[in-house]
Structure 1
Amino acid sequence: GRFTGRYLLVPSFVELQQNGETGRKLFTRVNGALYSLPPAFWLDPLNPQNTGLLLKPQIALLANTFDSPEADQATLGFMVRLADTGLFFDTEATWVKGRKEIVVRDTNFVGNQNYVAGKPIRINPAYDQINTYTNDGRSEYKALTFSVNGTIGNGHLVNASFTVADKKNIADDFSPEFPTGYPSDPANIAGEWGHGRSHERYRAVVSGVFRLPWEFTVAPIIEYGSGQPWTRRLGYDFNGDGKNSDRAAGVERFAEDGPVFRQVSLRLTRGFKVGGATHLDVIAEGFNIFNTVNYDVTSIDGAQYLAGPTLANPAAVTKANPNFGKYSSTLRGRELQIGLRLSF
């Protein structure tokens, strides 16, 4: 089928806004003392709107032609019962291709390939960045899932699934993380094609609900993921567009393998008949019961360098980042909780 999405950006970009013109302007003042300018250009914290050095404004716009995003989706599945058991084998293939997706990029940058030393990098000299919301985005998702589910024995429930997937796009969101989530070269939006943030090649989940004597119920969940990717960045603004999302030539978005995810969780329930139709369940739950260390891929330092050659200064000295590729946080460790449920 074909599905048409919605966009909710209109309230932020109403024609003839309060500033009297199309778009949303952003004005920035910096402290002239940072540039060794006279005190007249210094920023007064008590009067920041009228002091300091006023930079060229940035503006956010909608593209002149702006359409609703679309996606073509197809799913094909096959299910069969396994002999005379209560189990079923299920295979499902999914394909989704998105078009005209919303992305934001600076349309006021000449581009890395068109850079000429000594000449302006801004197409419209009246502005710094012109961040434009366009329909330049596209995506493709493919997945194949194998699963076995059903009942065994005296009503025990089991479910096991294994998914192989591939997700690629131009951008994950039209509101990317600042400043590292923006295009490496805003003039080459096609160069952003690569894996998405949530891409995970393999994922397996096994779960069950097992009924034991004396009204005990055990429900384990075992999870494994091959890991989500991360992006290797230069770590500094190579092209001078004001964003720290620059990548070296030939390096794609989210091309680095992230940490694997492994977790075992368990739920134990003991039922008690209180009287009549009243029933009490005592529940003990443990998440990540083996306290497996799972690193948070969003915490990795993807900046390969602290400084290095730029378009404006190709002779600059490269300074390596000692924290490159290191994680600063993990996902949740072992968690335990106890609860009561009264049914009547």
Structure 2
Amino acid sequence: YGVRYDYQRLEEPKIRNTSFQLAQRRINTAQLNQDLNNFGPRIGFSYAATKDSKTVVRAGYGVFYSRTPSILTGTVITNNGVQLQNFSFTGNNTPIYPNKFTTPPTGAAAGRPNIFFYDPDFVSPLIQQGSLGVERELPGKISVSLSYLVVKGTHLQRVRDVNLGAPVSSSIAVGIAGSPRLTFDRFSNPRPLSLFNRVTAVSSDSSSIYHGLSVQVNKRYAQNFQFLFSYTFSKAIDDKPDATSVVVGNAGDDAKQVSNYFRPDLDRGLGDSDVKHRAVVSGVYDLNFSKYTGASSGLAKAIFDGYSLSGIFTGTSGRPFSATVPIDLNNDGNSRTDRVPGVGRNTLRGPNFYQLDMRFTKSFKPTETTKVEFIGEAFNVFNRTNIANIDTNQFSVTGTAPNQILVPNRNFLNGLSSTGAGRGANRQFQLALKFDF
């Protein structure tokens, strides 16, 4: 048991945007709450439950504090509407980098800035983690364990646009005979703080919960063989925390935000990283044929011994995703988070993932101090197509508001990519020669 104290001193914004509109909303771009009370107690124990000490119970609990990413703090410092300003202009005499304007060009129209500021109640993310497990040793150098893990996150960080008009109940038609109109909230124009575009609050009001039950069977190396099997049944729920959405208008960053900044609770659902089932099987088998052939000479053993076969199989459930529409349906300036009206976040699940990788080696020792190893490896042995991305747009949209119509997307759920780095790759082989000395 013990207690850990964490303190991350964040660089405080030095310049305050003195706009009267921000002052009326009590938005201070030079404000930061330094979180000083981050004490994290931890406790754990193990107990031999049987006289032979072959059954052991373990449990633990701890409080942990995470860090605020530097990309977020740097964005708040620089994107205050004062240090960085946006201008849009056209012309044939525009200077090219590294040449630059010393003053705004004549006739240039100043764009409305996107600004970031810390919420007054901003604090460090807090994680509570508890576990309980039991392990039993069996004959044959085999152990079996069952464990339960719960992880609760509070004060998780995210960003949200607070410069939105009042939501107005709207509806949209569906291009399917007999389908009712779907209702949703649409933010009214113009933005309340008319001098600005997005006014993004960096807050710590998000939360998450994870439950996981794991089973593991472990056979330690004996008689040229070792084996490990693990299976986890789990569920992760959150309301879409993310502290790295800092580039306004960037498709990837915008997709990390909630769909309704006034109602982040509507995004409470399965976490983006939720994997309901995960099974991993691995093993190593060393093959020495000399004992079967009766070979005893050094040359014969070099030929018949030193073989090893190993492999790992991974199988997981697909990741959850949301049914979306490809436009800014709710008029919040972000078209990457608009779901089909009435459909919750991450209510669908993508394809499962299965892959078997194998390795075969042959080694021998030319001398007492050297070793040569021939290696052959195969990845995705059965060449299974593991879809990495799918089309999540359930509908396309025709017409203009308020006469828009949702039209079913024929490519909905179709795979967009069957390859990806480390996931979904085609079958691959590689050969290697290793020399130890």
Note whether the superposition's TM-score is higher than 0.5: yes
- Of 399, 402, 409, the residue aligned with 1:314 is 402
Distance 1:11 1:179, change over 3 A: closer
When the two structures are superposed, what TM-score results if normalisation uses the length of structure 2? 0.68
Q: Displacement, 1:320? A: 3.6
> Which residue does the alignment assign to 1:99?
154
Counterpart pick for 2:280 among 198, 205, 208:
205
- Give yes or no for contact 1:273–1:279 (8 Å, CA) kept in 2: yes
1:178-327 mapped onto 2 (5 Å cutoff): 178-213=253-288, 214-244=305-335, 245-296=337-388, 299-307=389-397, 313-327=401-415
Q: Separation in 2 of the partners of 1:223 and 1:117?
A: 44
- State which of 7, 11, 27 in structure 1 corresponds to 2:86: 27
Name the counterpart of 2:427: 334
Could you tell me which residue of structure 2 aligns to residue 149 of structure 1? 218
**CA shift digits 1:198-219 (9 cap, x unpaired):** 1110011110011112211100
Q: Give, in whole Å, the separation in 2 of the partners of 1:114 and 1:47.
A: 45
Residue pair 2:131, 2:149 contacting (<8 A) in 1 also: yes
Q: Distance in 2 between matches of 1:96 and 1:45?
A: 58
1-structure distance, mates of 2:240, 2:87 = 27
Structure 2 vs 1, CA of residues 95 and 119 (structure 1 numbering), >3 Å: closer, same or farther? Answer: closer
Kept in 2: contact 1:25–1:58 (CA 8 A): no
Q: Aligned equivalents of 2:334 and 2:94: distance in 1?
A: 28
Q: Is the 2:113–2:198 contact (alpha carbons within 8 Å) kept by the matching residues of 1?
A: yes
Checking the alignment, whether the CA contact within 8 Å between 1:136 and 1:189 is kept in structure 2 is no
Displacement after TM superposition at 1:54 (Å): 4.8
Code of the aligned partner of 1:47 = T
The residue aligned with 1:32 is none
For residue 274 of structure 1, give the secondary structure of its aligned residue in structure 2.
coil
- Confirm or deny that 1:69 pairs with 2:125: yes
Change (3 A) 1:137 1:119: closer
User: 1:36 is matched with which residue?
Assistant: none
Shift of 1:169: 1.4
Q: Equivalents in 2 of 1:111, 1:274: separation in Å? A: 79
Deviates more, 1:225-234 or 1:65-74: 225-234
Query: Letter of the aligned partner of 2:65 in structure 1?
Result: T
Instruction: Among all aligned residue pairs of Structure 1 and Structure 2, give the percentage whose two residues are the same amino acid.
Output: 27
Deviates more, 1:3-12 or 1:127-136: 3-12
Q: Tell me, in whole angstroms, the C-alpha distance in 2 between the residues paired with 1:218 and 1:295.
A: 29
**Could you list the runs of 5+ residues in structure 2 that have no partner in the other structure?**
1-61, 96-103, 171-184, 246-251, 289-304, 419-423
Structure 1 unaligned residues grouped into runs of 5+ = 30-41
Aligned to 1:44: 91
Query: 2:344 and 2:186 mapped to 1: Cα distance?
Result: 26
Contact between 2:87 and 2:108, CA under 8 Å: does it hold in 1? no
RMSD: 2.7
2:143 alignment partner AA: F
Query: One-letter code of the match for 2:162?
Result: T
For the Cα contact (< 8 Å) 2:187–2:331, is it kept in 1?
no
Give the secondary-structure state (helix, strand or coil) at the position aligned to 2:382.
coil
Match of 2:189 in 1: 120
Which secondary structure does the structure 1 equivalent of 2:375 belong to? strand
Structure 1 residue 243: Cα displacement: 0.6
Q: CA deviation at 1:180?
A: 3.0
SS at match of 2:147: strand
- Output the CA distance in 2 between the equivalents of 1:63 and 1:120: 24
Q: Deviations over 1:49-76 (max 9, x none)?
A: 7567654322122222211110110011
